[in-house]
Structure 1
Amino acid sequence: MSSLYRTAPVGIRGQPDFINAVAALVTTLAPHELLDELFAVERRFGRRRDFPQAPRTLDLDLLLYDQLLLDGERLRLPHPRMHLRAFVIAPLLEIAPDCHIPGRGNAAAWLPALSQQRIERLAP
Protein backbone atom coordinates (compact mmCIF):
# COMPACT_ATOMS: atom_id res chain seq x y z
CA MET A 1 0.00 0.00 0.00
CA SER A 2 1.17 3.51 -0.78
CA SER A 3 1.54 6.42 1.57
CA LEU A 4 -1.53 8.54 2.27
CA TYR A 5 -2.02 11.67 0.17
CA ARG A 6 -4.20 14.73 0.84
CA THR A 7 -5.74 16.20 -2.30
CA ALA A 8 -8.36 18.72 -3.29
CA PRO A 9 -11.50 17.17 -4.76
CA VAL A 10 -11.31 17.04 -8.56
CA GLY A 11 -14.38 18.47 -10.30
CA ILE A 12 -16.26 18.92 -7.02
CA ARG A 13 -16.80 22.14 -5.08
CA GLY A 14 -17.70 22.65 -1.45
CA GLN A 15 -16.25 19.41 -0.11
CA PRO A 16 -13.28 18.90 2.19
CA ASP A 17 -9.97 17.54 0.97
CA PHE A 18 -9.77 13.83 0.26
CA ILE A 19 -7.28 11.35 1.66
CA ASN A 20 -6.08 8.96 -1.05
CA ALA A 21 -3.90 5.89 -1.34
CA VAL A 22 -3.31 3.07 -3.80
CA ALA A 23 -3.07 -0.59 -2.84
CA ALA A 24 -2.03 -3.62 -4.85
CA LEU A 25 -3.52 -7.01 -4.13
CA VAL A 26 -3.61 -10.57 -5.34
CA THR A 27 -7.05 -12.10 -5.80
CA THR A 28 -8.81 -15.10 -7.27
CA LEU A 29 -11.92 -12.99 -7.86
CA ALA A 30 -12.91 -12.03 -11.38
CA PRO A 31 -12.95 -8.26 -12.05
CA HIS A 32 -16.73 -7.85 -11.57
CA GLU A 33 -16.64 -9.95 -8.40
CA LEU A 34 -13.83 -7.80 -7.03
CA LEU A 35 -15.81 -4.65 -7.87
CA ASP A 36 -18.81 -6.06 -5.97
CA GLU A 37 -16.59 -6.71 -2.95
CA LEU A 38 -15.19 -3.17 -3.09
CA PHE A 39 -18.74 -1.76 -3.14
CA ALA A 40 -19.64 -4.00 -0.17
CA VAL A 41 -16.71 -2.57 1.82
CA GLU A 42 -17.84 0.96 0.94
CA ARG A 43 -21.35 0.17 2.23
CA ARG A 44 -19.94 -1.21 5.49
CA PHE A 45 -18.24 2.16 5.97
CA GLY A 46 -21.50 4.04 5.38
CA ARG A 47 -21.07 4.92 1.71
CA ARG A 48 -24.28 5.96 0.00
CA ARG A 49 -24.56 6.61 -3.71
CA ASP A 50 -27.42 9.12 -3.59
CA PHE A 51 -26.16 11.17 -6.55
CA PRO A 52 -22.99 11.41 -8.66
CA GLN A 53 -20.10 13.08 -6.83
CA ALA A 54 -21.97 12.92 -3.49
CA PRO A 55 -19.83 13.25 -0.36
CA ARG A 56 -18.51 9.86 0.64
CA THR A 57 -17.08 8.16 3.68
CA LEU A 58 -15.03 5.84 1.49
CA ASP A 59 -14.45 5.56 -2.25
CA LEU A 60 -12.75 2.43 -3.57
CA ASP A 61 -11.92 2.30 -7.27
CA LEU A 62 -10.65 -0.65 -9.26
CA LEU A 63 -7.90 0.98 -11.32
CA LEU A 64 -6.16 -1.94 -13.01
CA TYR A 65 -6.56 -5.70 -13.22
CA ASP A 66 -3.30 -7.05 -14.60
CA GLN A 67 -3.15 -5.80 -18.19
CA LEU A 68 -6.85 -6.37 -18.84
CA LEU A 69 -8.75 -3.99 -21.11
CA LEU A 70 -12.47 -3.97 -20.33
CA ASP A 71 -15.16 -1.56 -21.54
CA GLY A 72 -18.40 -2.59 -19.87
CA GLU A 73 -21.36 -0.71 -18.44
CA ARG A 74 -20.40 -1.38 -14.81
CA LEU A 75 -16.66 -1.59 -15.12
CA ARG A 76 -14.02 -0.10 -17.39
CA LEU A 77 -10.40 -1.16 -17.06
CA PRO A 78 -8.09 0.49 -16.76
CA HIS A 79 -10.06 3.13 -14.86
CA PRO A 80 -10.89 5.64 -17.62
CA ARG A 81 -9.65 8.75 -15.77
CA MET A 82 -6.80 7.35 -13.67
CA HIS A 83 -4.13 8.89 -15.91
CA LEU A 84 -5.68 12.34 -15.38
CA ARG A 85 -5.47 12.30 -11.59
CA ALA A 86 -2.33 13.05 -9.60
CA PHE A 87 -3.98 11.45 -6.56
CA VAL A 88 -3.92 8.15 -8.46
CA ILE A 89 -0.65 8.38 -10.38
CA ALA A 90 1.61 9.58 -7.53
CA PRO A 91 0.68 6.83 -5.05
CA LEU A 92 0.57 4.24 -7.85
CA LEU A 93 4.14 5.07 -8.83
CA GLU A 94 5.18 4.81 -5.19
CA ILE A 95 4.21 1.12 -5.08
CA ALA A 96 4.75 0.26 -8.77
CA PRO A 97 7.36 2.63 -10.27
CA ASP A 98 7.37 0.83 -13.63
CA CYS A 99 3.58 0.56 -13.90
CA HIS A 100 2.18 0.38 -17.42
CA ILE A 101 -1.42 1.50 -17.96
CA PRO A 102 -2.93 -0.59 -20.77
CA GLY A 103 -3.75 1.65 -23.70
CA ARG A 104 -2.04 4.66 -22.04
CA GLY A 105 1.60 3.67 -21.62
CA ASN A 106 3.92 4.22 -18.69
CA ALA A 107 2.16 5.77 -15.69
CA ALA A 108 5.16 7.99 -14.91
CA ALA A 109 4.79 9.74 -18.25
CA TRP A 110 1.47 11.21 -17.12
CA LEU A 111 2.69 12.82 -13.88
CA PRO A 112 4.26 16.02 -15.34
CA ALA A 113 0.94 16.98 -16.97
CA LEU A 114 -0.75 16.77 -13.55
CA SER A 115 1.56 19.21 -11.77
CA GLN A 116 -1.22 21.78 -11.27
CA GLN A 117 -3.21 19.36 -9.10
CA ARG A 118 -2.53 19.92 -5.41
CA ILE A 119 -1.29 16.76 -3.71
CA GLU A 120 0.47 16.37 -0.36
CA ARG A 121 2.08 13.16 0.85
CA LEU A 122 1.04 12.65 4.48
CA ALA A 123 2.45 9.40 5.76
CA PRO A 124 4.18 6.25 4.61
Structure 2
Amino acid sequence: KPNHVKQWMGDSIGYWEDDTLVIETKNMHPQQGFRASLRHVFYLSENAKVIERFTRVSDSEIFYQFSVDDPEVYTQVWTGEMPLKATSNQIYEYACHEGNYSLSNILAGARAKERKE
Protein backbone atom coordinates (compact mmCIF):
# COMPACT_ATOMS: atom_id res chain seq x y z
CA LYS A 1 0.00 0.00 0.00
CA PRO A 2 1.19 3.56 -0.50
CA ASN A 3 3.01 5.11 2.47
CA HIS A 4 0.47 7.92 2.81
CA VAL A 5 -2.42 5.45 3.34
CA LYS A 6 -2.76 4.67 7.07
CA GLN A 7 -4.75 1.75 8.44
CA TRP A 8 -7.14 2.89 11.17
CA MET A 9 -5.49 0.70 13.83
CA GLY A 10 -1.95 0.79 12.39
CA ASP A 11 0.14 -1.84 10.62
CA SER A 12 0.67 -5.01 12.65
CA ILE A 13 3.22 -7.78 12.16
CA GLY A 14 3.03 -10.96 14.23
CA TYR A 15 5.69 -13.55 14.93
CA TRP A 16 6.51 -16.25 17.48
CA GLU A 17 9.13 -16.06 20.22
CA ASP A 18 9.14 -19.58 21.61
CA ASP A 19 5.57 -20.10 22.96
CA THR A 20 4.63 -16.41 22.83
CA LEU A 21 2.82 -14.70 19.97
CA VAL A 22 4.32 -11.21 19.58
CA ILE A 23 2.51 -8.49 17.63
CA GLU A 24 4.23 -5.20 16.77
CA THR A 25 2.02 -2.34 15.60
CA LYS A 26 3.28 0.90 14.04
CA ASN A 27 1.96 3.64 11.73
CA MET A 28 -1.13 4.45 13.77
CA HIS A 29 -3.82 6.57 12.21
CA PRO A 30 -3.48 10.01 13.85
CA GLN A 31 -7.17 10.12 14.81
CA GLN A 32 -7.33 6.71 16.50
CA GLY A 33 -6.52 5.80 20.11
CA PHE A 34 -5.27 2.32 20.94
CA ARG A 35 -7.38 -0.07 23.02
CA ALA A 36 -5.54 -2.29 25.46
CA SER A 37 -8.91 -3.68 26.46
CA LEU A 38 -12.51 -2.71 25.87
CA ARG A 39 -12.42 -0.52 28.97
CA HIS A 40 -9.20 1.42 28.48
CA VAL A 41 -8.21 3.72 25.65
CA PHE A 42 -4.95 5.63 25.56
CA TYR A 43 -3.65 8.11 23.05
CA LEU A 44 -0.83 7.59 20.59
CA SER A 45 0.89 9.64 17.93
CA GLU A 46 1.17 8.23 14.44
CA ASN A 47 4.83 7.37 15.22
CA ALA A 48 4.05 5.17 18.23
CA LYS A 49 5.09 1.54 18.51
CA VAL A 50 2.99 -0.94 20.49
CA ILE A 51 4.23 -4.45 21.23
CA GLU A 52 1.73 -7.05 22.46
CA ARG A 53 2.55 -10.53 23.79
CA PHE A 54 0.17 -13.45 24.18
CA THR A 55 1.49 -16.43 26.15
CA ARG A 56 -0.62 -19.50 26.93
CA VAL A 57 0.03 -20.41 30.55
CA SER A 58 -2.57 -23.19 30.86
CA ASP A 59 -5.44 -24.77 28.93
CA SER A 60 -7.74 -22.04 30.23
CA GLU A 61 -5.55 -18.93 30.43
CA ILE A 62 -3.49 -16.65 28.20
CA PHE A 63 -1.23 -14.02 29.73
CA TYR A 64 -1.43 -10.71 27.83
CA GLN A 65 1.31 -8.06 28.03
CA PHE A 66 1.81 -4.85 26.09
CA SER A 67 4.33 -2.03 25.90
CA VAL A 68 3.87 1.44 24.45
CA ASP A 69 6.79 3.43 23.04
CA ASP A 70 5.73 6.91 21.94
CA PRO A 71 8.17 9.71 22.81
CA GLU A 72 5.83 12.29 21.24
CA VAL A 73 3.14 11.58 23.86
CA TYR A 74 4.85 9.88 26.84
CA THR A 75 8.12 10.53 28.66
CA GLN A 76 9.02 6.83 28.89
CA VAL A 77 8.02 3.42 27.60
CA TRP A 78 5.24 1.96 29.70
CA THR A 79 3.70 -1.49 30.00
CA GLY A 80 0.59 -3.30 31.13
CA GLU A 81 -0.48 -6.89 31.60
CA MET A 82 -3.53 -8.96 32.43
CA PRO A 83 -4.65 -12.59 32.41
CA LEU A 84 -7.21 -13.61 29.79
CA LYS A 85 -9.23 -16.50 31.21
CA ALA A 86 -11.43 -18.87 29.25
CA THR A 87 -15.15 -18.68 29.81
CA SER A 88 -17.91 -21.21 29.39
CA ASN A 89 -20.31 -18.38 28.50
CA GLN A 90 -21.26 -17.68 24.92
CA ILE A 91 -19.04 -15.09 23.26
CA TYR A 92 -20.86 -12.81 20.87
CA GLU A 93 -19.39 -11.29 17.75
CA TYR A 94 -17.88 -7.87 18.29
CA ALA A 95 -18.42 -5.73 15.22
CA CYS A 96 -17.92 -2.05 14.66
CA HIS A 97 -21.16 -0.15 14.07
CA GLU A 98 -19.98 3.28 13.03
CA GLY A 99 -22.71 5.81 13.74
CA ASN A 100 -25.09 3.04 14.81
CA TYR A 101 -27.67 5.07 16.69
CA SER A 102 -30.45 2.61 15.98
CA LEU A 103 -29.13 -0.38 17.91
CA SER A 104 -30.80 0.63 21.17
CA ASN A 105 -34.11 1.09 19.31
CA ILE A 106 -33.76 -2.29 17.60
CA LEU A 107 -33.18 -4.00 20.95
CA ALA A 108 -36.03 -2.10 22.63
CA GLY A 109 -38.36 -3.09 19.79
CA ALA A 110 -37.33 -6.73 20.07
CA ARG A 111 -37.98 -6.73 23.84
CA ALA A 112 -41.41 -5.12 23.29
CA LYS A 113 -42.24 -7.78 20.70
CA GLU A 114 -41.16 -10.54 23.11
CA ARG A 115 -43.43 -9.14 25.83
CA LYS A 116 -46.43 -9.25 23.46
CA GLU A 117 -45.76 -12.88 22.48
TM-score (ref. length: structure 1): 0.27
Larger Rg: 2
TM-score by length of 2: 0.28
Instruction: Say which structure is richer in helix.
Output: 1
